[in-house]
Structure 1
Amino acid sequence: MLAVTADDHRPAGPVAVLANPSAGRGRHRDLLPRLLDGLAAAGRAVELLSARTPDEAEAACRAAVAGGAAALVAVGGDGTVHQALQAVAGTAVPFGPVPAGTGNDFAVDTGFPADPLAAVDVIAAALRERRSRPVDLARMTGPEGGDRWYGAVLAAGFDAIVNERANRMRWPRGPRRYDLAILVELARLRPRRYTLRLDGEEHHLDAVLVAIGNCASYGGGMRICPTADPTDGLLDVVVGGRFDRRTLMRVKPRIYAGTHVTHPLVRSYRARTVELSAEGITTYADGERSLALPVRITAVPGAVRLLR
């Protein structure tokens, strides 16, 4: 268990807040004024960042951190957290995720309450008491350089392929588009050939599922990397091998409990650095479209300080 640490050199600027009003299909939109009031009760000015797109959100977070924000808070799901992490990773600016999305895996897996108001209470108390806790992040680097960070899980198998299919589709709208993408990709299901280097040790694998976790969960509570610990300085790698359609559909529900790792076609590894390559795969990190393979992923201990 990490000790609570005090930070007496925190900037005197405001608490910057990135809020996604459409997160969780907007079910927490009306809570935002109460959440902002809860943060203001910590005795700091609160600045709500303005952004209309993910790129604008990321740029606004970077500007707030560079401008001396005392802390950064993200109100939304894993996508909103992902944008904010690009700004605070590797800095001394503390961060607070307020779970208000469809998937809140990073916030919940790092110990924040699932209820947004309760999470704000935790963050406000940490702000008042000037404390934060270091937590690991994963840093991704593509062949052309340019780092990206993620907090929860990188998907580089069937789930990433389904997301990529759904994002290319213009019909239908809403959750049915994702459901249709699953059906299309199940019909096309085949193992892909991966090269996996774990701290320099090379493995060649035929696989359908590949996940690299800093935390245990993705997709709103699916414990794909069930033993991942965001304070151990390691990445958990879970590989589902040559599944056919029927086996994949039987194993998939077991991911919620994390019991899929006992299946004979599933292998688990741990490493500080993971290099992954395969043809035609675009990865999804924290549920967000990320880098195309090949990619190098490194566990960075204490890369972010959480307000809890």
Structure 2
Amino acid sequence: MTSDDIAVLANPSAGRGRHRDLLSQVLQRLGPAARLLEAHSGEEAEAASRAAVDEGVAALVAVGGDGTIHRALQAVAERPVGFGVVPAGTGNDFAAGVGMPVDPLAAAGVVAAALAEGRHVPVDLARVGADAPRWFGAVLAGGFDALVNERANAMTWPRGPRRYDLAILLELARLKPRKYELELDGEDHSFEGMLVAVGNCASYGGGMRILPGADPTDGLLDVVIAAPFGRAALARLKPRLRRGTHITDPRVTVFRARNVRLRSGGIIAYADGERLGPLDLDLTCAPGAVRLLR
């Protein structure tokens, strides 16, 4: 690839494959300089993205959902390269949070126009760790939803959405408050509860507005926690996540901070819907860490 090329990272199976036929149209909309990266796994996608950025491409464009974007972010974070987002996944929470059009072709047109006009918008990212950091753009889940994700990913049956539904039922059966060590900009906010999320954008899970006030350009991370509540209360709270009205519940508290330390035993954290690792994390907001082509 050359410095005039646009590297395109695409996941043909994103959105359960419903956007597969759009890829050629997206490439056409991006122009003759667009080159599709070769990748057959998440690890290969990340490696190909890093290689393209190291070679000095004009831009890296991610076509897919939050998982595809998450892989691409590892290559563009704090690098002097344009980053384009074309939402084509089941969940497109980062794209929504940064104001990209919902329609993939319209989004590709926005990216192409931004490149042609030499403009970009600085957008924050969340940095995880200091040495060899990981990055995420939308939301990190470290409570009940993280437990459900981990259980669902370990299950081989059933397939499709029913696996997630069964995982919810199984986790509800063992629902209990957990102790969290939480430090925000050096101040202790440790608590006992069953919900914690740290976000750069407002939503996760395909539009659940877990952090409705999050702004990916304010230099801060939003943090939501919830005190202990029972199964019935959790069932009532879940529908409110879609609207973002859960934050009015007296058991729910929202903070903003630049630096977040979060620890709890027995929980695997998920960020941008991707498995991140044990919940023993130091998180920092990196202002303007990505040059969004918008």
Matching residue within 268, 279, 289 for 1:293? 279
Amino acid aligned to 2:108: V
Q: Deviations over 1:126-180 (max 9, x none)?
A: 01101111000000118xx431000000000000000000011111111111111
Distance between the aligned counterparts of 1:80 and 1:201, measured in 2? 34
The alignment status of 1:120 with 2:108, answered yes or no, reads: yes
Query: Could you say what secondary structure the match of 2:167 adopts?
Result: helix
| Amino acid corresponding to residue 280 of structure 2 in structure 1 | P
Match of 1:139 in 2: 127
Alignment map for 1:240-279 (pairs within 5 Å)? 240-279=226-265
The amino acid that maps onto 2:45 is A
Give the aligned residue type for 1:68: G
- Determine helix, strand or coil for the equivalent of 2:15: helix
Q: CA offset at residue 225 of structure 1?
A: 0.5
> Equivalences for 1:1-308 in 2 at 5 Å?
12-40=3-31, 45-141=33-129, 145-308=131-294
Residue 12 of structure 2 aligns to a residue whose secondary structure is: coil
Matches of 1:204 and 1:234 in 2, distance apart? Answer: 19
Q: Which amino acid aligns with 2:162?
A: R
Q: Could you state the TM-score of these two structures normalised by the residue count of structure 1?
A: 0.94
Is the partner of 1:299 in helix, strand or coil?
A: strand
For 1:63 and 1:199, locate their aligned partners in 2 and report how far apart those are by CA, in whole Å. 35
Identity of aligned residues (%): 66
SS at match of 1:225: coil
Distance 1:241 1:82 in 2: 30
Contact 2:3–2:55, Cα closer than 8 Å, also in 1 = no
Alignment-mate amino acid for residue 122 of structure 1: V
Could you tell me how far 1:13 is from its partner in structure 2? Answer: 3.1
Between the aligned partners of 2:289 and 2:132, the Cα distance in structure 1 is: 17
Ranges in structure 1 where 5+ consecutive residues have no aligned partner:
1-10
User: How far has the Cα of 1:255 moved from its partner?
Assistant: 0.7
Q: Do the aligned partners of 2:197 and 2:224 also contact (CA within 8 Å) in 1? A: yes
Report the aligned-residue RMSD. Answer: 1.0
- Residue deviations 1:163-203 (CA, integer Å, cap 9, x gap): 00001111111111111100000001011100100001012
Report SS of the residue matched to 1:296: strand
Aligned mates of 2:267, 2:158 — CA distance in 1 = 24
Give the match's secondary structure for 2:219.
coil
AA of the residue aligned to 1:292:
P
Cα distance in 1, alignment partners of residues 252 and 133 from structure 2: 29
Distance in 2, matches of 1:231 and 1:274, equals: 17
Q: 1:115 & 1:122 partners in 2: Cα distance?
A: 11
Runs of 4+ in 1 over 4 A off after TM superposition: none
2:10 aligned partner, one-letter code: A
Whole-Å separation in 2 of the counterparts to 1:270 and 1:20: 33
**CA deviation profile, 1:243-268 (whole Å, cap 9, x unmatched):** 21100010011011110000011011
Cα distance in 2 between the residues matched to 1:297 and 1:168: 26
AA paired with 2:117? E
User: For the Cα contact (< 8 Å) 2:87–2:107, is it kept in 1?
Assistant: yes
Q: Structure 1: how far apart are the matches of 2:277 and 2:247? A: 26
Please report how far the alpha carbon of residue 72 of structure 1 lies from its aligned counterpart in structure 2 after TM superposition.
Answer: 0.3
- The letter for the 1-side match of 2:111 is I
Question: Counterparts of 2:189 and 2:96 in 1: how far apart (Å)?
Answer: 32
Q: Deviations over 1:213-234 (max 9, x none)?
A: 1010101111101100001000
Structure 2 gaps, min length 5? none
